Amino acid sequence: MKIIVIGPRGKMGRLITMAAASRDDMELVAGVGPRGRSYIGQDLGIAAMTGSELGVPVTDDLKSVIDNCDVIVDFSTKEMAMEVLDLAIAHKKALVCGTTGFGPEEIQRFQDASKKIPMLYAANTSKLVNVMNKLLELVTSTLKDEIDIEILEMHDQWKKDAPSGTSKEMGEIMAHALGKELSDIAVYGREGAAPREPGTIGYHSLRAGNIPSSHTVFFGGMGERLEITHHSYNWECFARGACDCAAFLADKEPGFYTIRDVLNL
């Protein structure tokens, strides 16, 4: 299958380029960067710092190369993602989007797009994170109001959104297991006289140095607690997962897919 990587110089874009280049079932046909970047016009392998040339270009014009691909993989920015989505719809191309920080209206645009193209949105493409999500659903649906739920997520100092998209997804999974909406029960940080309100999900975001992605969910009972944690040592697991998502979309009809579909969870 033929792949276009959006934002090939970014933290995820570079690793996705390397992961896709190493696979026998994928062919990179272009990289697309934001307008005005110094690496526009370079070979994709050079721009993504893979250590060798890949024989395909980096452009700032997705429209000029989009018809050469089967799937677009986008882990760029909110603003760029919306442009990519519109072009994917117009050219009927499958899209994997792992960009985070979207609001409800923007997420709805991805869901609407799934009526026309194969659309896979994944806030986190790690296999282990998604197995963790399954465990969170099990614990919450089993214990319900017997427990208090708190989420601590840690990322590097450059992380733009807080809480992280992954922790929001975790919260939504647990809220739905409680028969509620996350927007109705989420509490973000505490200060001063702030006793815990039963039935809420607490969020705490830490940003420092180059801490890799880390998520811990605390289930607090009386006299005991359960902690479920995922640590990523680097971003390669997310890049491999993103390529698995792209491969999954290869023969799919239009629809809204998630990484749970990829992993049969």
* Active site (catalytic) residues: 155, 159
Q: What is the DSSP letter of 144?
A: G
Q: Two tokens at 199? A: 């039935």
Side chain identity at residue 228, one-letter code? I
Strand partners, 95: 72, 119
Q: Two tokens at 4? A: 């276009």
Whether the CB-CB separation of 139 and 224 falls below 8 Å is answered with: no
Place of tokens 């427990």: 147
- Is the link from the previous residue into 254 a cis peptide, with omega within 30 of 0? no
Neighbours of 69 (CB within 10 A): 23
Neighbours of 211 (CB within 10 A): 14
Strand partners, 96: 73, 120
Q: Two tokens at 118? A: 């194969």
Q: Two tokens at 244? A: 């698995």
Q: What is the distance between the alpha carbons of residues 4 and 16, in angstroms, rounded to a whole number?
A: 10
